[in-house]
Amino acid sequence: MTDTERLKKAVGALCNWYRAGHRDLPWRRTPTPYHVWVSEIMLQQTRVQAVLPYYERFMRALPTVQALAEAPEEQLMKLWEGLGYYSRARNLQKAARVVCEQYGGEMPCTREELLALPGIGPYTAGAVASIAGGQACPAVDGNVLRVLSRLFAREWDIRTQAVKRQAECELSAVIPADCPGDCNQALMELGAMVCLPNGAPLCDSCPVSGLCLAHEAGSEQRFPVRAPKKQRPVENRVVFLLWKDGRLALRKRPNSGLLAGLWEFPNFFEGEDPEKQLGVQLTDIRPLKRAKHVFTHLEWHMAGFSAQTEDGGLFTWVTPAQLERDIALPSAFRVYRTIALEQRKQ
């Protein structure tokens, strides 16, 4: 059996398996281009269960492309608070504004048009075009690459663009024209629910185990092959919950770089003088718990402190109620946000 024949048989079996029963997800109930697009952007680097409440809240607040295009930045950031990778939200809005300007507020449905929008890459374009537009094009993400690696028992590095392009090319040759969305979602569903990334895959539940060369050899967990990750650098930082007359100090980060343009609690490198870094005199300094946050290419190890001041400094001062209701803080500060909201009751 050739690879193409194997893949074609697998795709047919997977489509039947998917149609027989799959997860009931809100964007699958109403697979409009807008719904599929927002869900796919949210699902990047984020688990389905974590995304569900965000998606529902986002759609209640911004039910159309035009609503997204016109949303104030603070509202958009608050809706995204905790999901991380905030550039995703900003690109969503940039793309929504392009759609309103160039397409009259109607999301385009072809892969080529979607690829021209900010923040949309080959995977998202393929997902929206196939699921919402019925275009026979692949949507290749990590789940799909893992499935194909095991199906063919291929020792390819799935993090490389060359492997992604090869997978897209092979799938393009077999994706069914009458149900491309089902095909792509079936591959994603299999990778998420059966052909698992960590631990043993659930081969007894797999509709294509009889075609899988890795399963035949009993070597499912050897695949996919990955190049070893580089160790992330660590920054040791100090975070201050700085209080003045019942209000908390916040500041905005620079408009470029890590967490660009987002609100933050005052923080600086460990070992630096707090009053010099904050530009105010401090009283009643108290240590808080330590916290850690892992970014894609960096780790913050944080020591927290609470303090009082009578100086205004160069900060924006907000009440705890404003912090909870209106201000979007990156998840890096989640621990200290929780402590701040607890301190208001003391």
CA atoms within 13 A on the CB side of 265: 27
5, 40, 113, 220: the active-site residue: 40
CA distances from 24 to 140, 188, 302, 333 (A): 21, 14, 39, 33
**225 DSSP 8-state letter:** B
CB atoms near residue 155 (< 10 Å) = 10
Report the SS3 class of residue 293. Answer: strand
Q: DSSP 3-state assignment of 236? A: strand
Give pairs for 95-98: CB < 8 Å, separation 24+: 95/119, 95/120, 96/65, 96/66, 96/68, 96/69, 97/69
Residue recorded with tokens 């997902």: 127
Distant-in-sequence contacts of 110-118, Cβ < 8 A, 24+ apart: 110/135, 111/135, 111/137, 114/37, 118/91, 118/94
The reply to whether 40 belongs to the active site is: yes
Closest residue by Cα to residue 306 from 286, 279, 289, 334: 286
Annotated active-site positions, please? 40
